[in-house]
Amino acid sequence: MSLLNSVIGAVLGGNGAQTQGGLAGMIGAFANNPQMLQAITGMLANNGSQGGLGGLMQKFQQAGMGDVIASWVGSGENKAISGAQLSQALGPDTISDLASKFGLNKGDTAARLSQILPGLIDKLTPQGQAPAAGLGSAGDLMGMLGGLLRRS
């Protein structure tokens, strides 16, 4: 939990990080709900519930939205996704599980994720492609986020 606290602290601390927008703004949204950050990094982690970024991309492809998540990974503009589309891609069980972790209803959970995931995945794949070995463990992802915050 100390790494999570340091990432959130970097966002909320001095240097105006919270008002810069971008990744700092996204993670700033997690400050009041650290369970959300843990769940999302767990979802994107290689050993996470979705099979990492590769597994998440496969779910989107199966739902007919492979081009959407590919835009988040790619170097071009991120395509928007609605909460309903995200719910369709992730499946109702995943959204229900996340909603219970976040302390929100399913609609609010999907809406928040639809605002956060595109930018977060974009920032975690700065080379414009998914790493062959995935994004790493949840701890690796927290370290990556901390590094990105220090540069912003």
User: Model-level pTM?
Assistant: 0.77
pLDDT by residue (tens digit) across 55-108? 999 999 999 999 999 999 988 899 999 999 999 999 999 999 999 988 889 999
> 3-class SS at 62?
helix
> What's the token pair of residue 112?
């928040």
Identify the CATH number of the domain in which residue 21 sits. Answer: 1.10.10.690
Q: Is the pLDDT of residue 113 over 80?
A: yes
Distance of CA 36 to the CA centre of its chain: 9
Domain count, the chain: 1
Mean pLDDT across 103-129: 88
**Gap between the Cα atoms of 25 and 51, Å rounded:** 26
Q: Which of 55, 34, 21, 22 is nearest to 124 (CA)?
A: 22
pLDDT by residue (tens digit) across 10-32? 443 433 333 334 555 565 666 56
Burial class (CB in 10 A: 0-12, 13-18, 19+), 128: exposed
- Please give the residue range of the domain that contains residue 118: 2-151
